[in-house]
Amino acid sequence: MDDLYKEYILDHYRQPRNFGHLDAPTAVAEDLNPLCGDRIRFELLVDDGKVTDIRFSGQGCAISQASASMLTENLKGMSLEDVARLPKEAVLENVGIGISPARIKCATLGLKVAKSAALGEIARWPDEEPSENGRSK
């Protein structure tokens, strides 16, 4: 159990990083895990196809909230395409070993929401060849 609820997990649960809202987010997504009621919202500020600022909000178990908090730290500076392509392992590594199958959905909820925000924003981009500012379809 100490494997799962490591000191840094509890730290992120009790003092979540980048928690709150952005004044004018470029992309927003939220979702819930109906099994346990965990709820997470991600707000991204995007400039030049890259995440320049990020906030998350929501409520839920230590695993879902700490995982989302740690993810916000990973996403800053990342391109939306890279966010959209992030594998589950990215957050499972953050959380560490000891996640049971029943709790994987908790650990990956934040990632699911972040990817959904990124994909939503990419879908709104004009249908054009990659431009000089780095954006692509």
Partner 1 sequence: MLAELDVRAAQLALDFPILAQPTSLGKRLAFLDSAASSQKPRSVIDALVHYYEHDNANIHRGVYELAERATAAFEAAREKVARFVNAAEPAEIIWTRNTTEGINLVSYTWGLQHLGPGDAIVTSQLEHHSNLVPWQLLAAKTGAELRFIEVDADGCYLLGDLEAKLRGAKLVALSHVSNTLGTIAPLEVLIPAAHAAGAVVLIDGAQSAPHFPVDVRALDVDFFAASGHKMCGPTGIGFLYGKRKLLESMPPFLTGGDMIRTVAYEDTTFNEIPWKFEAGTSNIADAVGLGAAVDYLDSVGMEWIAEHERALTAYALERLAAFEGRGLVIYGPKDRAQRSGVISFNFADIHAHDLATILDTEGVCIRAGHHCTMPLMEKMGWPATARASFYLYNTERDVDQLVTALEKAAKVFRLP
- In the complex, which residues of this chain contact partner 1 (CB under 8 A)? 1-2, 4-5, 7, 10, 14, 35-39, 59-63, 100, 103, 106
CB of 102 to partner 1, least distance (A): 8
Residue closer to partner 1 by CB (options 1, 24) is: 1
Which helix (H) or strand (E) is 102 found in, with range? none
CB of 35 to partner 1, least distance (A): 7
Residue closer to partner 1 by CB (options 8, 125) is: 8
Identify which of 21, 31, 85 has the alpha carbon closest to the alpha carbon of residue 53: 21
Torsion over CA: 124, 17, 111, 78 (sign): positive
Strand-pairing partners, residue 44, are 27, 54
Q: List Cβ neighbours of 70 (8 Å cut-off, separation of 6 or more).
A: 12, 17, 91, 94, 95
Residue closer to partner 1 by CB (options 62, 84) is: 62
DSSP character for 25?
Answer: -
Residue closer to partner 1 by CB (options 2, 23) is: 2
Instruction: Please say whether the beta carbons of 136 and 124 come within 8 A.
Output: no
